[in-house]
Amino acid sequence: MATADLYQFGPFRLDPEAGILYHGARPTMLGQRAVALLRLLLENAGVPVSKDALVEAGWGGLAVADNNLTVQIAALRRVLADEKADSWIETLPRRGYRYVGPPVATHGPDASPAARAAYAPTLPDKPSVAVLPFSNLSGDPQQDYFADGMVEDIITGLARIKWLFVIARNSTLTYRDRAVDVKQVGRELGVRYVLEGSVRKAEGSVRVTGQMIDASTGAHVWAERYDRSSDDIFALQDEIALSAVGAIAPSLRRAEIDRVKRKRPDSLDAYDLVLRAQLDVDSGMPEQVSRALVLLERAIELDSTYALAHGNAAMCHHCLFLRVGLRETNRAASIRHARSAILHGQDDATALALAGFSIGMDGHDRDAAFTAFEAALAVSPSSALTYILGSVILGWSGEPERAIEWSERGMRLSPFDPWAFAAFDAQAMSHLLRGRYEEACRAAYKSVQANPAHSITYVQLAAALAKLGRLDEARAAAERVLELQPTFRYSRQFAGVNCAPALAETLGDALKTAGLPE
């Protein structure tokens, strides 16, 4: 099949085959009809194009009112207005329109791959993803709407992640019913990652599969299958989309961290510095977070308004406050960075979640913490981290049922989240407070498995084992706490997090029995 001409004019490039108008490297939100009109205007640059010809190009000869054409031309001018170039399309009263902008360069279908590659968009500075139309495997064309709705919800959810560049649905729709090579899709759309999937609906159940692929290498980043009853199809659509977005985000971030690890230290920008610090931040232990702080402070020097850098710095100082002697300087720094994260990160769910946690744990202001969490969930309802960190605050606040609910919600959204250990900690202390010691022990073991280098995971395990009368195991867990955190004293720990009195009494008795110092 012949390849359509590419049109370059000013800072814009039109790829009619893909149906995308690029502004530099960035795809615009221009719809398919406006793209068809623009193509015709560019083909006839400097020459009037009649309204009838434009309607034929955009609507295939359908009878449409004049205002439909006016609306599409207005949409086209809005996109061009980014370069104050809305005057490039001239209105000719009662005749039509004419393109009068910069000269139009075309690259024809016989161009060499190297020449066409010169027109391919470059990758954005931040990670980028395109979600392709999902395949409908049901054998029923009437179910196409379900697959389309799923894709639309996933794109909307991913677009809420501030650090991610997401291609608009109008652009990816051009790949419907086409056998595609994800590497080619990545080149054509200028994205690093491609998400593809399928939907099969039959006999009262729905199966949705998805996989994220690194378009530069063809390697799989994430894959998941969701099997659900199809009782309420629209609620199901929302649930699967929410779960998919929540699960994709941590996998993408890990893939980006691996990518940045391969870059030279002297080439790292603020975003790369935060990514390189992330694994150490997530460890929650003093030596690692001290190392992370060096990178985060460099990132903040480069960009003092970088909300995510401030949010991660707040988390680092929170860790140092609780694990290294409850020093006031760390507590104050945690709160200071948290406030900066909220100030500059009103559209960044992760920054808001980290900030809310620091304000709740170190500032002992639970109301302010949940205001930040609610703001994070308004930005990104699929933010697993918000639910997980919120569950920890609820746990220490003595609200066990709500803490378990939030932790389970977070784990449902992101089953393999790097903060999973915190969700299990919240469950362990909550079950302990309710006298459900077997459940507390199971949750504590899961926490230790998720992060065996974190002292608090063993605190919860020691307490649960002591309550079950398994004293030898409880003392072994207590010894591990002191190996990881020699300065641990449970009364000081409780004061540091403003532990609810009932939980402090229950947990304190168990830890004393296990042999931990008060």
Task: Decide yes or no: CATH 3.40.50.10610 for domain 128-251.
Answer: yes
Candidates 341, 180, 322, 154; CA nearest to 252 is 154
The pair of three-digit structure tokens given for residue 134, joined into one six-digit string: 């999902």
Q: How many residues does the chain have?
A: 518
And the tokens for 405?
A: 């609910």
The alpha carbon of 94 is separated from its chain's Cα centroid by a whole number of angstroms, namely 49
Does residue 121 sit in helix, strand or coil?
A: coil
Question: Residue 350 — left, alpha, or beta (φ > 0 → left; ψ -120 to 50 → alpha)?
Answer: alpha
3-state helix, strand, coil in the chain (%, to 5): 60, 15, 30
Output the CA–CA distances (angstroms, integers) from residue 328 to 317, 331, 332, 335, in the order listed.
10, 5, 6, 11
Give the Cβ contact number of residue 219 at 10 Å.
10
Alpha-carbon distance of 433 to 397, in angstroms, equals 11
Structure tokens at 122: 């470059």
| CATH class, range 6-117 | mainly alpha
Whole-angstrom Cα distance, residue 55 to residue 36?
10
| Two structure tokens written together for 270 | 């603020």
In the chain, CATH 1.25.40.10 sits at: 263-376, 382-518
Residue that the structure tokens 């930005």 belong to: 379
The model's pTM: 0.69
Q: Where in the chain is the domain with CATH 3.40.50.10610?
A: 128-251
Shortest CA distance to 314 belongs to which of 274, 257, 271?
274
Q: What is the DSSP letter of 192?
A: S
In this predicted structure, what is the pLDDT of residue 320?
Answer: 93
| Residue type at 510 in one-letter notation | A
CA 317, chain centre distance (Å): 24
Which pLDDT score, from 0 to 100, does residue 473 have? 93
At residue 330, the pLDDT reads 95
Q: Give every CB contact of residue 88 below 8 A, 6+ residues apart in sequence.
A: 9, 10, 80, 99, 100, 101, 102
Beta 96-99 vs 135-136: how paired, if at all? Answer: unpaired
**Rounded Cα gap, residues 498 and 432, in angstroms:** 18
pLDDT of residue 235: 80
Neighbours of 288 (CB within 10 A): 18
Q: One-letter amino acid identity for 323?
A: R
Interior/surface letters 387-425, b for 16+ CB within 10 angstroms, e for the rest? bbbbbbbbbbbbbbeebbbbbebbbebbeebbbbbbbbb
Q: How far apart are CA 205 and CA 201, in angstroms?
A: 6
Q: 382-518 in CATH: which number? A: 1.25.40.10
The secondary structure element, H or E, covering residue 221 is strand 220-229
- Tell me, what's the pLDDT at 3? 47
Location of each CATH 1.10.10.10 domain in the chain: 6-117
CATH number of 263-376: 1.25.40.10
Q: How far is Cα of residue 370 from the mean position of the Cα atoms in its chain?
A: 20
Residue 98's beta-bridge partner residues? 90
Taking each helix axis as running N to C, give the angle between helix 384-396 and helix 366-379, from 0 to 180 degrees, rounded to the nearest 10: 160
Q: What is the pLDDT along the chain (518 residues), one digit of tens a residue?
A: 344 578 888 888 888 877 788 887 677 778 888 888 999 999 888 889 998 889 888 888 677 777 888 888 988 988 888 666 678 899 988 889 999 888 888 765 444 444 444 455 667 777 888 899 888 888 777 778 888 888 888 888 888 887 888 887 766 777 777 777 888 888 878 888 999 888 888 778 888 898 989 888 888 888 888 888 877 777 888 888 888 888 888 888 888 888 777 777 666 788 889 988 988 998 888 899 999 999 999 999 999 999 999 999 999 999 999 888 889 999 999 999 999 999 999 989 999 999 999 999 999 999 999 999 999 999 888 888 999 999 999 999 999 999 999 999 998 888 778 889 999 999 999 999 999 999 999 999 999 998 888 888 999 999 999 999 999 999 999 999 999 889 899 999 899 999 999 999 999 999 999 999 99
